[in-house]
A and B are shown apart, each in its own frame.
Chain A
Amino acid sequence: MKEVVVLSGKGGTGKTSIAGSFAALAKGAVLVDCDVDAADLHLLLQPAIREKREFWSGQVAAIDESPCTKCGLCQELCRFKAIKDFRVDGTSCEGCGFCSHVCPVEAISMKENMAGYWFISDTRYGPLVHARLGIAQENSGKLVAVVRQQARELAQKQGTKYIISDGPPGIGCPVISSISGANLALLVTEPTLSGIYDLERVLGVCRHFDVPPLVCINKCDINEANSRRIEAYCQAQGSRVAARIPFDRVFTEAMVAGLPVVEYSRNGASHQIEALWKQVSEQLSG
């Protein structure tokens, strides 16, 4: 079982459109949406939910007003500034439990926090493991770890060859949780100066976690000079541009139709995505 994770650094470069197309091309892979706080892959794959589970993320402090003597020790010691006027701000609390431990009158308890749901669903391309992080919740990295673990177990049980994972933007906690231990990272970029800067940083993450990268330039004709710059940069970094996909309205049209690009259209961009999947699957198998 081999896992490819689709990342980008910069958001909106086409990760989900590519991952959704890979799902259709791979036929029978286990699919994962690791972008747990703004998940979109389900909009292309139309999953039927088979299992729904609660995600318990950790703890949040709660102050019981009656024993509280307002001594202020908790406020003084909390490094996350999560306690103000003897109330806990749940969006700032990181669940360390320091306050609860030091409170001289034991007025602070730690409450388990239900921070979202994860699902195992059936799609016409194979099982999809996905999640929905609760509103303004933290610990998205932990939820990513949960969905990836579920996907691995499913793939093992079914003897599946590939896991295709749609990753989040950025380079922080959920990205690190998505990439660690993957066999290949496909980096979808665009030829804008922002795209290039963000690609450099996400390539750094691949190096840091020792996951081989492969690069795809989407909307390559928006700025041909920048596209060439990306190719030269990747080459210098010992990485490779595996596909160049010109700007194509088919990406949006397919999204509106609720289909992966390769199913919606048989022309242009679809050919490039097919050729890209061929390279990705070869590299995973090799």
Chain B
Amino acid sequence: MIISIASGKGGTGKTLVATSLALSLKDRGQVQLLDCDVEEPNDHVLLKPVFTSSEAVCIQVPKVDEGKCTYCGKCAEFCAYHAIAIFPKNVLVFPQLCHGCGACSYLCPEKAISEERREIGVVESGNAAGIEFAHGKLNVGEAMATPVIRMVKAQANQRSNVIIDVSPGTSCPVVESIKGSDFCLLVTEPTPFGLNDLALAVETVRELGIPCGIVLNRAGVGNSGVEEYCGKENLPVLLTIPLDIDIARNYSRGVTLVQGMPHWKESFINLFERIQESAGERSRSLKR
């Protein structure tokens, strides 16, 4: 089973939920945590994993052999990202703009374009407190997170329950991360920002046809907007975590919720069981 943990709004507690859910499940069979927030991965800050492998994430960018190039301009005309510019006696490649589609090298009539690898990030994997762990890190200054996310997801162990920690927002990195999940947990807080961004995240998850449920974090602040929305949209609130200064202090020191307050473990196991039920109900209704 693959469970992704997203939110829309940042800082609502995705990392807190992902790490504690993974730690709570490790005695009940294999569990793997994949941190797909490759722009700002934080699970490792809390879990302090030991990495056993590290692999560069590269995209293929064009390399023009000017000995063969006739400056015909087909490649530049074709490139949707304006990553190649042709001058009468000169070619300029802008690797930062290149998405690595490979069209220019395939289509060049002179076969003057080959490809070279450009590193944009790294995927590290190993073990953290008895959990299989992998995360990706986009290099600072790089724009494209999705190739790094794809490679983190390629580490998924089919025999495990897989938990995917997702970046905030609702655009391409989020879609790439949650695609293929059996269930998406949306972590929110009971504030107007939390509600606004939750509604966007719910639309995204529904667009992808993934069943979802809510974790309400910092309950007790703000207003009742989120709960009313969940009621109206028929979204199950699967776990509620109160605003608690001790939870915040533990988190600030890099201590996970279940390590700092072990009684929470039961709530996370219960959360997992409720997710299984929801996902199971769905797959049964799909079979029907």
Instruction: Please state if A101 and B42 are interface contacts (CB–CB under 8 Å).
Output: no
For the residues of B in contact with A, the DSSP-based class is loop
Query: Given contacts A173-B144, A258-B192, are A77 and B204 in contact (CB under 8 A)?
Result: no
Interface presence of B89 (CB below 8 A): no
Contact of B101 among A12, A79, A139, A252 (CB under 8 A): A79
Instruction: Please state if A222 and B248 are interface contacts (CB–CB under 8 Å).
Output: yes
Instruction: Please state if B196 and A97 are interface contacts (CB–CB under 8 Å).
Output: no
Contact of B252 among A168, A171, A173, A226 (CB under 8 A): A226
Query: Given contacts A38-B169, A169-B168, are A9 and B249 in contact (CB under 8 A)?
Result: no
Taken together as a complex, chains A and B put the C-alpha atoms of A192 and B81 apart, in Å, by 38
Which residues of the partner chain B approach A256 to less than 8 Å between Cβ atoms? 191-192, 222-223
Contact-residue bracket for chain A:
35 or more
Contact-residue bracket for chain B:
35 or more
Instruction: Please state if A102 and B106 are interface contacts (CB–CB under 8 Å).
Output: yes
Interface presence of B62 (CB below 8 A): no
Taken together as a complex, chains A and B put the C-alpha atoms of A13 and B42 apart, in Å, by 14
- Minimum CB–CB distance from B93 to chain A (whole Å) comes to 16
Instruction: Please state if B252 and A11 are interface contacts (CB–CB under 8 Å).
Output: no
Interface presence of A105 (CB below 8 A): no
Instruction: Please state if B193 and A255 are interface contacts (CB–CB under 8 Å).
Output: yes
Name B200-222 residues within 8 Å CB distance of A: 200-201, 203-204, 207-208, 221-222
Instruction: Please state if B253 and A193 are interface contacts (CB–CB under 8 Å).
Output: yes
Which residues of the partner chain B approach A198 to less than 8 Å between Cβ atoms? 40, 42
Kindly report which residue of chain B lies nearest to residue A43, judged by CB atoms. B192
Instruction: Please state if A101 and B192 are interface contacts (CB–CB under 8 Å).
Output: no
What is the 8 Å Cβ interface bit string for chain A, positions 156-193, against chain B (1 contact, 0 not)?
A: 00000000000011111111110000000000001111
Which residues of the partner chain A approach B9 to less than 8 Å between Cβ atoms? 11-12, 38, 40
Instruction: Please state if B200 and A223 are interface contacts (CB–CB under 8 Å).
Output: no
Which residues of the partner chain A approach B143 to less than 8 Å between Cβ atoms? 141, 172-173, 176-177
Known pairs A176-B143, A194-B15. 12 more at Cβ < 8 A? A9-B39, A9-B40, A38-B10, A43-B193, A137-B171, A169-B40, A175-B39, A194-B42, A198-B40, A223-B252, A226-B252, A252-B221
Chain B residues close to A by CB (< 8 Å) = 8-12, 15, 37-40, 42, 45-46, 60, 78, 80-81, 99-103, 106-107, 138, 140-145, 167-175, 179, 191-193, 196-197, 200-201, 203-204, 207-208, 221-223, 245, 248-249, 251-254
